[in-house]
């Protein structure tokens, strides 16, 4: 496969952009080789600048639940673009978005729009600290909540594969306030709270851990966090930036039945344009400026184009049977990988929740970060390249979730299965 043009662009980009990329995982550091530079996408497919075609299972790491360039989203953005990009004044679309989020997640009594998932989690954290009058937070090893200082302690995603979970530049005084527990290990949370419960403002958790591949919450884990928060007077924050409206109409919160005090959103609610949101209990959210005293603002917050793209996307997911169809498609992709792996004798367990999935080359099912980290990364890396050479674009790390869209049709699903078979044959 030729990547000449990608190589040329990357070579110059590295002289002008740190690592040649605007977000670390895109640099292929953990898999090696030249990052595919994408020229365009359509439905389940994308094409790189050298003209190679791929079935896209990256999908911008989650936002594109309808695939690339869904005509309904394109039309909404085009229409809005003709009426103005941004005003610095409130628009009706923001109310429609707030109402839409509230209807789908009734426990989101009030919501504030921001520009990214990172901004959502940072703002929710400030709010939790203000509301409780406490400074510490509990987060989980391997959970990723964006690049806010307080969260860059044992973080997942790019921070995980680059082996630098504690970034220089994060003030140690701040990092000291971040207490790290083990995902799916309630006892590790209990230990922290027994010692420092009165200092803890909130527990923040990815209800499904999607930034270490895909690890499901153990039965009772999320309900246990809820109980512990109540017992210690801390707020529970579900970071649904990845899972929100991707795994179900009401996010993972609807599926698990546990109610957080605050929730953070992003990705799907912007349909591919930059957006984030945080919301939840009215008495907590009312503390946000200007109704309250906790400051948080944004020149482009509630941006009309992002809101239009997000609303068009959410509306499309309201079609009857949308999530059932997405579930069926995602199950077929997961089965295709599992069957191909079995045929070639590769131990493989596919973690999956709806249209988020991650095949681990592991002998045992992956329920903890340790087991994920013990999977066969060297084999995975060779297989990643073999998949790319066969026209399937995957996230360039064994610890990133793959995403399926409603646009992934039979042809795309079968191409993934065939590529997986051939790729396993090539690397085993």
Q: Going residue by residue from 196 to 225, which x/- string records binding to ligand PLP, judged by CB under 6 A?
A: ----------x---xx--------------
Distance from C-alpha of 53 to C-alpha of 331, rounded to nearest angstrom: 23
Does the annotation count 239 as an active-site position?
A: yes
Q: Which is nearer to ligand PLP, 205 or 427 (by Cβ)?
A: 205
Residue 381 near ligand PLP by CB under 6 A: no
Give 390's Cβ-side CA count (13 Å radius).
21
Give 207's Cβ-side CA count (13 Å radius).
32
Output the smallest distance, CB 242 to ligand PLP, in A.
3
Of these, 110, 153, 215, 241, which contacts ligand PLP (CB under 6 A)?
A: 241
Of these, 48, 70, 239, 421, which contacts ligand PLP (CB under 6 A)?
A: 239
Does the annotation count 144 as an active-site position?
A: yes
Q: Name the segment binding ligand PLP (CB under 6 A); options: 73-81, 89-97, 141-149, 365-373.
A: 141-149
Residue 30 near ligand PLP by CB under 6 A: no
Place of tokens 């911008």: 60
Residue 144 near ligand PLP by CB under 6 A: yes
Indicate which residue of 48, 239, 261, 421 is catalytic: 239
- Output b/e per residue, 232-263; b: 16+ Cβ within 10 A: bebbbbbbbbbbbbbbbebbbbebbebbbbbb
Taking the CA atoms of 174, 193, 162 and 401 in sequence, report the sign of the dihedral they define: negative
Place of tokens 């999320």: 222
Indicate which residue of 144, 183, 252, 323 is catalytic: 144
**Residue 247, both tokens:** 């795994």
Residue 56 near ligand PLP by CB under 6 A: no
Of these, 20, 35, 93, 146, which contacts ligand PLP (CB under 6 A)?
A: 146
Residue 261 near ligand PLP by CB under 6 A: no
Residue 277 near ligand PLP by CB under 6 A: no
For residue 22, which phi and psi values (nearest 5 degrees)? Answer: -100, 5
Output the smallest distance, CB 126 to ligand PLP, in A.
15
Residue 303 near ligand PLP by CB under 6 A: no
* Residue list 95-134, contact with ligand PLP (CB under 6 A): 116-118, 121
Does the annotation count 185 as an active-site position?
A: no
**Residue 187, both tokens:** 């006892």
Q: In what order do the strands lie in the sheet with 349-353?
A: 349-353, 356-360, 402-403
Output the smallest distance, CB 128 to ligand PLP, in A.
15
Q: Are 128 and 137 in contact (CB under 8 A)?
A: yes
Output the smallest distance, CB 182 to ligand PLP, in A.
17
- Output b/e per residue, 71-100; b: 16+ Cβ within 10 A: eebeebbeebeeeeeeeeeebebbeebbeb
Q: Which is nearer to ligand PLP, 260 or 336 (by Cβ)?
A: 260
Give 98's Cβ-side CA count (13 Å radius).
16
- How many chain residues bind ligand PLP (CB under 6 A)? 15
Residues that bind ligand PLP (CB under 6 A): 116-118, 121, 144-146, 206, 210-211, 239, 241-242, 266, 276
């Amino acid at each position: 496969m030729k990547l000449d043009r990608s190589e040329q662009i990357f070579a110059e980009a590295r002289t002008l952009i740190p690592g040649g990329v605007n977000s670390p995982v895109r640099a292929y550091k953990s898999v090696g080789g030249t990052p595919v530079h994408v020229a365009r996408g359509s439905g389940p497919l994308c094409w790189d600048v050298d003209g190679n075609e791929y079935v896209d299972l990256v999908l911008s790491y989650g936002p594109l639940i309808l695939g690339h360039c869904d005509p309904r989203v394109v039309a909404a953005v085009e229409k809005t673009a003709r009426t103005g990009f941004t005003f610095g004044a409130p628009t009706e679309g923001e109310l429609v978005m707030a109402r839409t989020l509230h209807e789908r997640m009734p426990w989101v009594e009030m919501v504030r729009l921001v520009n990214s998932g990172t901004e959502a989690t940072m703002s929710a954290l400030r709010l939790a600290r203000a509301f409780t009058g406490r400074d510490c937070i509990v987060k989980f090893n391997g959970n990723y909540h964006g690049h806010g200082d307080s969260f860059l302690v044992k973080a997942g995603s790019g921070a995980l594969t680059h082996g630098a979970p504690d970034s220089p530049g994060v003030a140690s005084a701040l990092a000291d306030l971040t207490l790290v527990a083990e995902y799916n290990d309630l006892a590790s949370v209990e230990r922290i709270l027994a010692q420092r419960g009165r200092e803890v403002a909130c527990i923040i958790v990815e209800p499904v851990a999607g930034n270490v591949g895909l690890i499901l919450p153990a039965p009772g884990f999320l309900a246990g966090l809820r109980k512990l928060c109540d017992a210690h007077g801390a707020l529970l924050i579900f970071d649904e930036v990845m899972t929100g409206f991707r795994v179900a109409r009401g996010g993972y919160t609807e599926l698990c039945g546990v109610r957080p005090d605050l929730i953070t959103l992003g990705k799907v609610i912007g349909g591919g344009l930059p957006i984030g949101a945080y919301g939840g209990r009215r008495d907590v959210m009312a503390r946000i400026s200007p109704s309250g005293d906790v400051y948080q603002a944004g020149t482009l917050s509630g941006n009309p184009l992002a809101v239009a793209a997000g609303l068009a996307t959410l509306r499309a997911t309201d079609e009857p049977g949308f999530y059932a169809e997405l579930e069926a498609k995602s199950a077929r992709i997961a089965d295709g990988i599992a069957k191909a792996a079995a045929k070639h004798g590769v131990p493989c367990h596919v973690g999956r929740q709806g249209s988020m999935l991650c095949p681990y080359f592991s002998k045992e099912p992956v329920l903890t970060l340790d087991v994920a980290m013990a999977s066969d990364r060297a084999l995975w890396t060779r297989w990643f390249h073999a998949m790319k050479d066969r026209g399937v674009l995957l996230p360039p790390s064994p610890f990133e979730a793959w995403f399926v869209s409603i646009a992934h049709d039979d042809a795309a699903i079968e191409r993934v299965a065939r590529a997986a078979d051939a790729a396993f044959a090539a690397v085993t």
